[in-house]
A and B are shown apart, each in its own frame.
Chain A
Amino acid sequence: MSDPLLVVEDLETRFRTDRGTVRAVDGVSFSVDRGETVCVVGESGSGKTVTGESLTRLVPSPPGEVVGGTIRFDGRDLRRLSESELESVRGNRIAHVFQNPQDALDPVYSVGWQIREAVTLHRDVSTSEARARAVDLLDRVGIPDASVRVDDYPHEFSGGMKQRVVIAMALAAEPDLLVADEPTTALDVTIQMQILRLLRDVQAEFDTALLLITHDLGVVAEVADRVVVMYAGKVMEEADVYELFDSPSHPYTRALLDCLPGRGEGARAIGGRLPDPTDPPDGCRFHARCPHAVEACRTGDQPPMVPAGDADHTVSCVYYQPGYDESVVTNGRGPENDGSEVVDG
């Protein structure tokens, strides 16, 4: 196997605020293979969005700053690149799609003009070639009558169609990695599925790796190959998507699954609040809300990532370290688990 396309190690991004320094991303590591879909899932405040923005220095600076770690993309450390070198990566090799398509489109230019600009910025092609490419991209993302719609303006498209246009723009340079931050959250449920399938189709067609950032575990289950669960700036758990849903190991992941309506016996809220980001607690960041927390969870650093079951399944939880009994966590789920879920074959 070749090296992963993207390897993030110990990423640290901080924001200086009046109330102190916010450690939005505090030592996060993960990797994405070519053509793979990795979902980063967490609540707002977990640092998932800042993680995505840190990759290509989209974090507003000041107040934000990537202060530590390495971001190896296709063999190069993006943190060491100059701004002009990074520009040849951003939008070209790594493209971003955000939650609100409205914000990504300029209302005064036709969508064709905007896609053409994205094409000519990264490729040396004539205007007519760029236009043909724009029509082709719109067609590929499922816009009917692409050769006519290419001259329409953003306001002439519905929300779902606008998001298709944004995806077409992101694909203009045939990027190796697409970073999509909540791409369907602003859309209706019937449109959401169209966009998810589109992302999956274009990913297969262009062999693009996808880093999808979301709070929605339904979306994760639909598209992910691998899942990274974040909480308060730290990675809590990482696993293959089937493994994660079949045997969630971190108490936070389990709590997240339990608060989904329609899974088990109704939604259960996670009590308590996210810790103060300017003054994170010692020990595991989740301990104040964790039903299983013991003394060891409240001291020292976030526990290291250790294997839980499967070799590719890692978890940052005291109970999975030698000398602790992980069944305290796995059995603590309550009676609704009896026979209702299909676990391993």
Chain B
Amino acid sequence: MADDVGGGKPSNTGGAGHDAVDSADSASATDSTDTDSTDFADPAGPVDPLLRVRNLTKHYPITEGLLAREVGRVRAVDGIDFEVRRGETVGLVGESGCGKSTAATSLLRLEEPTAGEVRFEGEEVTEYDAAELKRFRRRAQMVFQDPTSSFDPRMTIGESVAEPLVVHGMTDGERRERIVRGVLERVGLSADDADRYPHELSGGQKQRVGLARGLVVDPSLVVADEPVSALDVSIQAEILSLLDDVQEAFGLGVLLISHDLAVVREVCDRVAVMYLGEIVETAPTDELFEDPQHPYTRALLGSIPRPDPHRRGSAVELTGDVPDPSDPPAGCRFHTRCPEVIQPDGYEFEQSVWRGVMDLRVRLRSGRFDDAVVRETAAEADGVPAAELSPERVAAAVREEFDLPAELGDDDAERVLSDAMSALVDGEVETARERLAESFGTVCETVDPPLDATPAGHEAACHLHGEPTEPGAAPDEGRAD
């Protein structure tokens, strides 16, 4: 183990260790037999995927006081399942703060996960001892976002790329140099670049070196965290196609973490979409982009500005910010922003009006509703002192704030809303909240939808695809295509 990092495990692709990296032909030859047999096998079949993650959870405690008493926890990753097969690129996408990077660092045990199973090549990573973990760290490599800060400016490129070999115990300097030069050429640099320093390279070149450093120890899994988001568009395409090439040549499994859907679409075979620590949809890439089943995925796809001025203004806009992960909403975590949130039984709303009612309800629930602010704004608009506003004017101002019409189309719904408005005007926020909650309850805020098969064939966690609980719930009404 100490002298040859590749020879530890017979089942490993490159039994010959680095010579496989040296001559990529032999590497791809050995790998292709391997990948062919697994790639087309039934995922539920006897062959383990390269990586299988089950119920992965990472909570950060929020502590208080001298004794560090736990007063809450940030649920960064809250029970996610996914797989990466050999020769496959899987994308993990979501907004910042959704937990996608934490998922990566905890599955590699760069941070200890709170709970869950991580099976890598059939072994349980979470049970590894220190020596096994070191071996695992060779087989599973991480490539980081910022190619500048991940290099020591005082080391040559060659030294940086060789460092993992040294760490993993390769003492033969000449051999190291041969391998490093070989791998630099594999990533599109010249072998002579080994003698240069990081500041002499452009961002794209540095990211190539970053990839070379990951590949030099002949891993079977590469986890790339936002590998191109610090680069220019023109360079991004280059690095992505390089990632594609080496993935094929080395038969790697790749987990690509990105907030950029265009990047994911370019290189991934499958995609998992994360929101607030959970996976809400997972599908083969083409299916996800052509027939997204979760409203969050639809919103993400719809909010990318298209390079086509003729379709200006057609983008979806989500209201509000991502909720606080230390206090995630009950039920479906996306219900506080979902444009397609399911309507309550027995009432009829226009979907956008219903979204406005939900926004009001979410605000009341959060305790951040302040009727004084509404009064002030209205008073300023009318040019009268706040105390002189009529109750009707204040109620109208609240409706305005949440884009609600002066009167709802549905009389029953209107009765509930005006009751709540009168309570609000009287400063009885709690009464208003209760009145709305008891009449306008939706399944989205009470039941956490499981990740289930959808009519499109892939999985999504959304009540729109569940059995309608009551007749007339019309689950598909809100779909915007």
Contacts and interface: CB of A to CB of B under 8 A. Distances in A.
Interface of A: 43-44, 139, 144-148, 158-161, 188-194, 196-197, 215-222, 224, 241-242, 245, 255-257, 259-263, 266-270, 273, 342
B305 A257 contact: no
A43 B307 contact: no
B206 interface: no
Name the residue among A221, A256, A269 with the largest chain B CB count within 10 angstroms.
Answer: A269
Contacts of B377: 139
Nearest to A146: B373
Q: Which are the 7 A-B pairs with shortest beta-carbon distances?
A: A218-B305, A269-B237, A267-B237, A261-B262, A222-B305, A269-B238, A188-B95
A159 B309 contact: no
Interface stretch (B73-81, B163-171, B246-254, B311-319): B311-319
Contacts of A146: 373
B317 A194 contact: yes
Contacts of A145: 368, 370, 373
A29 B374 CA distance: 48
Interface string B287-310: 000000000000110011111111
Interface of B: 95-96, 202-203, 232-238, 240-241, 259-263, 265-266, 299-300, 303-313, 315-318, 321-322, 368, 370, 373, 376-377
B262 to A, nearest CB: 4
Given A192-B303, A221-B307, A266-B266, A159 B315 contact: no
A262 B262 contact: yes
Nearest to B202: A273
B262 A269 contact: no
B310 A342 contact: yes
13 contacts: A189-B261, A192-B303, A216-B233, A216-B305, A217-B233, A218-B304, A222-B315, A259-B233, A259-B237, A262-B262, A266-B266, A269-B238, A273-B202
B3 to A, nearest CB: 40
A270 B239 CA distance: 12
A161 B322 CA distance: 12
Contact of A189 (B233, B235, B303, B308): B303
Contacts of B315: 193, 222
A43 B309 contact: no
A259 B260 CA distance: 15
Nearest to B321: A158
Contacts of B234: 43, 255-256, 259, 269-270
B366 to A, nearest CB: 11
Contacts of A220: 307
B308 A193 contact: no
Given A158-B321, A263-B307, A342-B310, A43 B232 contact: yes
A240 to B, nearest CB: 9
